[in-house]
Structure 1
Amino acid sequence: MKMKKVTAMGMAALMAATMIPSVPVMADGGGKVYYLNFKPEADEAWQNLAKAYTEETGTEVTVVTAASGQYETTLQSEMAKSDAPTLFQVNGPVGLKSWKDYCYDLKDAEITKGLTSDTYELKDGDAVDGIAYVIESYGLITNKTLLEKAGYSLDDIKSYDDLKKVADDIQARKDELGVKGAFTSAGMDGSSDWRFKTHLANLPIYYEYKEDGIDDTEAIKGTYLDNYKNLFDLYITDSTCDGAELSAKTADDSRNEFVNGEAVFYQNGTWEYAELSKTYGDDEMAMIPIYFGVDDENEGLATGTENYWCVNKNASEEDIQATLDFMNWCVTSETGTKSMADDMGFTLPFKTAQESTNVFVKEDAEYTEAGLTPVSWNFTTMPSEEWKNGLGTALTAYAAGTGSWDDVVSAFVDGWATEKALSE
C-alpha cells in the first residue's frame, strides 16, 4: 500500500506541533479524540460506540469514515489539517513506511500491554508504531438452505474441484432452483473490487510465499496465477450477471443478492455477519475456505489483519492521552468489547476480549482446531494502491471480454516489480 506524501504546507503545520513530552499526561481540560475509520461497513457501530464513550466519560469522540478504497487519500488530506486525526491506521509494514514519522510510540501504552502476543505489534526498530486491533477471516459465505435445495451439503465441498462441480450444476439449474447464479456478482466497482484485487489476490501470493519460504518479495513470480484464473473464471461465469456488467456492480449489489436468496456463494468476511444475521439464522449460513486447488485438504479460512491502530504523535498531549484512554476502553470495557465482537464482527487480539457470537468467527476456530491451516494475510506486502488498481482494471477488462488474462498476469507480475522499485 503506497501512501502519497502530505503537502509541504501540511507538513510544516504538523512539524510545528511535535513539541510534546514523550509520555503525555491528562491535562485539566481533558482532550478529544478524532478517529479516521478505515472500515465503511463498521461506521454505524463506531458512531454508536463513540457516543456511548462520550456519554460515559464526557470525552468528545469524532469518528469519520473514509469511503471504500479512499482511505489513504482521505488520510493524506486530513493529516494536512490543523485539527488532524488523533487515531488512524495503516495496513502493515508497507503502509507504515509513509506514516511512521507521525506515529506515537505505543510501547508503554496500556493497550499494548493487553495484547495476547507481541506479534500484533507493528514495529519500526524498538518503537511500537502501531498495534493490530482486530483479527478477521474471509472465505465463501454459503447459504446452506439453498445449497441443500440443490441437493448438496457442506461436506460435498472440500476442494476446488468440488466447488466447481457444485457451482456449475447450480448455475445450469438456476431457473429450477429459483436463483440468479451460484455466486453473487464479483463487482468491480470501487466499493467491491477489493474483494478480488486484494482478498482473492492474496491466495496466489500466500502459496508462492509458502513454497519459496519467504514473507515478501521484490519480484513476484506468479506461480499460482492459473489457480487465481480458475477461481475468477468461476466467479464470473457461474454468476448472477454477465461479466460485462461487473464494472458497475457494487458491494451492496453483491450483499443484497445474497440476502435476497439470489445466489448460494458470496466471497466476503466475518465483518458481514451482523448485516447478514438480520436475515439468516446461524444454522442457515456458513463460511467455507476459498478452495484454491493447491492444498485444499489442509486449507482453512483466510485469517489475519491489515488493521493497525496508530496514534498521531503531533496531536496535543491532552488529545494523545484522550485517544489512548479511548482505545484502551474499546478493548477492555464490556460495552467496547461487546460492540467490537458482535456489532463489528471482530476477533480482538487482547486478553480482555469477549468471546464472539459471530458464527463465522466460531467456524474459523473450528477449522483451526480440526488441524486446517489458516491462509495468512499477505496482501499487506502488496507494493502499492496503484498496483491493486492496475490489477483491478485488468480483471475488469478480462471479465468484460475486452482484455486478456495475459494482461492480468502482466499487471500482477510486471506491475509488482515496477511498484516495488518505486517504493524503495
Structure 2
Amino acid sequence: MSIRRMKKIGSGLLTAGLLLTLAACGNAADSGGESAGKGNGDVTEIDIFQFKVEFKDQFEALAKKYEEENEGIKINIETVGGGSDYGAALKSKFSSGNEPNIFNIGGPEDVTMWLDSLSDLSDTEAAKQALEGTLTGATKDGKVLGLPYNIEGYGVVYNKEIFAKAGIDATQIKTLDDLESAAKILEDKKAELGLEAPFALAAKELWITGLHSSNAFLNAEFDNDVMKAFESKTVEFKYGEQFKKYIDISNQYSVQPTNSLDYSQQMEQLFSNGKVAMTQQGNWVYSTIESINPELANDNIGLLPIPIDGVTEGTIPVGVPMYWGVNPKGTEAEIQASKDFLDYLYTTEEGKQIVLEDFKFVPAYKGFDTNKISDPLSKDVYTYYTEGKTTGWVFMGYPAGWGEQTVGAEIQKYVAEKATWEEVVEAAQKKWAEERK
C-alpha cells in the first residue's frame, strides 16, 4: 500500500498515509440536492478515483457487475498509483473542477486537508460494521469521514524454499540481529543458491523507506497511536539507532545500487524470480508475485518481522492503508449511490466474497469468514494480528509529505554515502518541527 502509492503501495498496508475517482461532483450543475445524477435520463454516475493498482482489474469487474444488478447506476473508475503520486493527482483532479464522488484519504493529515470534501459516513452500514480501531484515523469531531479499505501488514517478505536450502529457520528470526545473521548466511551461500544478493532494498521508492521503514521504528515512540503522531510538535527518533541498523542491513546485503531499485525491479524482476531471498513489502504484493511465479506465491512466501530489539520483537506493522471518502458536493442521488456502493462492497454476502476471494483483502469489517483468506501473506498478516504480534501505522499521522520527501529522500543520500545518519535524523527532525509550528 500508500501513502500515496501503497502497492507500489499499493503495489498493503498498508495499507499506511491508504484515491478513488468516480465523480465529477464538484461541477455538477444540480449540486443543490436534486435527485438526478450526472449523465442522461435517470442514470446516476459515480466517479471513483482510487490508488490501489494491484486490484484494479478486479475492482473494475466488480463495478460492472454492480451496474448490471443496479439499473440506473453507472460507475467510472480511474486508478492512479504504482509509480505515480496519488496525492498530487488527487489535488490536480479537484483543482481541475472534475471532482470525484469517491476518493481515497490516508488518515488524520488527509482528513484535515480534505475536510470540506468529505461527507459524514457515520450512518452507513459499513461504518457500523468496521472493526474496533479501524475508523480512528478518519474520524473527526465524532464524524466518520472515511471507511477503511482493508487491513494490511508488512515486514520482510521472504522465500521459504531458499531459506530451507540455506538452513535458516525463519521462525527463529525475531530481532534485527537474527535478521542480520540470516542475511550473512545467504550472502555466503548466494552462488550455490542462485542469488544476486540476499536482499532487495528498493530505495528509489521513497514510500518504502520513508513511510514503511520509518514507521517500524517510530511506532513505539508514539505508542502505536496515529493521533499522537499527528498531534506531536516534534519527533525524537528514540529508536533511531535501530532504524539505522535496519537500513544498513537492508542496504549492505542488497542488489546495488539501491537508489536505482524501483518496485518493478524489486518485486517483478528480483524477488518473484528467486534472485533475492528477502525484501521489505506487505501482503498487497501477493498478486504481483502470483502473476509471475504462482508456485512461489502460493507455496513459498512468508513475512518476517521488522522489530525494535527489546521493544517490539517478533512483530509486524499492521494497519489501514487508506480510506474511502465520499464527496458531499455531488447531487443527493450521487452521494447516496456512493454510500450504497461502499455498503455493498463490505456488508453484503456477494461483496464480502469478492473482497476476500478476488481482491485478496484482509477485511477491516465484521461478518467475514476469515477462514477464506486465501493467500499466504494475508494469512500471515491475519495470524500476526490475531496473536497480538503487531504494531501500529503511525505514518498516517506524519506531516504531509514528510515521510517520503524528507525521510525517504534523506535515506537516499545516506545509502549513497552523501549524508551521515546524524544528518538524516537532523533534517527529519527540523522538517517535522517546521511543519508542525
Task: Report the TM-score, using the length of structure 1 for normalisation.
Answer: 0.87
Q: Which shifted more, 225-234 or 372-381? A: 372-381
Query: Equivalents in 2 of 1:115, 1:284: separation in Å?
Result: 32
Residues 320 and 81 (structure 1), Cα distance of their counterparts in 2 relative to 1, 3 Å cut: farther
Q: What's the CA shift string for 1:350-399, capped at 9, x where partnerless? A: 223342213222223333444x4311110011111145212222111211
CA distance in 1, matches of 2:43, 2:366: 28
Distance in 2, matches of 1:212 and 1:66, equals 29
TM-score (norm 2): 0.84
The Cα shift of 1:322 comes to 1.7
Report if the CA contact (8 A) 2:195-2:274 is conserved. Answer: yes
Q: Give, in angstroms, the shift of residue 327 of structure 1.
A: 1.0
Q: Is the 1:163–1:291 contact (alpha carbons within 8 Å) kept by the matching residues of 2?
A: no
Give SS of 1:63's match. strand
Give, in whole Å, the separation in 2 of the partners of 1:200 and 1:342.
29
User: Is it true that 1:383 corresponds to 2:383 in the alignment?
Assistant: no
Partner of 2:258: 246
Describe the SS at the equivalent of 2:436. Answer: helix
Q: 2: distance between equivalents of 1:71 and 1:214?
A: 23
- Aligned in 2, Cα 1:136/1:119: closer, same or farther, shift over 3 Å? closer
Structure 2 residue runs of 5 or longer lacking an equivalent are 5-25
Percent same amino acid at aligned positions?
25
Q: Secondary structure at the residue paired with 2:174?
A: coil
For 1:153 and 1:283, how far apart are their aligned partners in 2? 16
Asked if the contact 1:86/1:312 (under 8 Å) is kept, the reply is yes
The 1:204–1:116 alpha-carbon spacing in structure 2 relative to 1, beyond 3 Å, is closer
- Please give the per-residue CA displacement for 1:116-171, whole angstroms capped at 9, x wherever unaligned: 33752522213221122311111111111000111112133222111101101211
Q: Does 1:362 align with 2:402?
A: no
Contact between 2:109 and 2:397, CA under 8 Å: does it hold in 1? yes
Please, which moves more after superposition, 87-96 or 269-278? 269-278
* Structure-to-structure mapping, 1:125-136, within 5 angstroms: 125-136=141-152
> Hey, what's the Cα distance between the residues in 1 that align with 2:274 and 2:133?
42
Pick from 382, 391, 403: which aligns with 2:419?
403
In structure 2, the partner of 1:218 is 233
Superposition pairs for residues 12-411 of structure 1, below 5 Å? 19-20=32-33, 29-58=42-71, 59-68=73-82, 69-117=84-132, 119-120=134-135, 122-184=138-200, 186-189=201-204, 192-210=205-223, 215-216=228-229, 217-240=232-255, 242=256, 245-256=257-268, 257-277=270-290, 278-297=294-313, 299-355=314-370, 356-370=373-387, 372-411=388-427
Q: In the superposition, relative to structure 1, how do residues 391 and 367 fare at CA in structure 2: closer, same or farther (>3 Å)? A: closer
The offset of 1:319, in angstroms, is: 1.4
AA aligned opposite 2:101 = T
Q: Tell me how far 1:281 sits from its aligned partner.
A: 4.9
Distance 1:333 1:394, change over 3 A: same
CA distance in 2 between partners of 1:350 and 1:369 (Å) = 14
Give the SS at the match of 1:263: coil
Residue 318 of structure 1, CA deviation? 1.6
Where 2:315 maps in the other structure, the secondary structure is strand
Q: Which one is further off, 170-179 or 353-362? A: 353-362
SS in 2 for 1:138: strand
Residues 294 and 17 of structure 1: CA distance in aligned 2, closer, same or farther (over 3 Å): farther
> Structure 1 residues 18 and 103 mapped into 2: Cα distance closer, same or farther (>3 Å)?
farther
Q: How many residues align?
A: 402
1:220 Cα offset (Å): 0.5
CA gap of 1:70–1:26, structure 2 versus 1, over 3 A, is closer
SS of corresponding position for 1:62:
strand
Runs of 4+ in structure 1 over 4 Å off:
13-18, 24-28, 211-214
Bigger shift: 24-33 or 45-54?
24-33
User: Take 1:362 and 1:218, find their aligned partners in 2: how far apart are those partners?
Assistant: 37
- For 1:17 and 1:156, the matched residues in 2 are separated by 62
CA apart distance, 1:82: 4.1
Structure 1 residues 30 and 387: CA distance shift in structure 2, 3 A: same
Partner of 1:10: none
Structure 1 residue ranges without an equivalent (≥5): 3-12
State the one-letter code of the partner of 1:112.
A
User: 2: CA distance between counterparts of 1:119 and 1:259?
Assistant: 31
Q: 8 Å contact 2:197–2:276 — kept in the other structure? A: yes
Cα distance in 2 for partners of 1:26, 1:324 equals 14
**1:6 maps to what in 2?**
none
Q: Is the 8 A contact 1:272 1:345 kept in 2?
A: no
Contact 1:30 1:322 in 2 (8 A): no
Name the counterpart of 2:7: none
Instruction: Assess if the C-alpha contact under 8 Å between 2:152 and 2:381 holds in 1.
Output: no
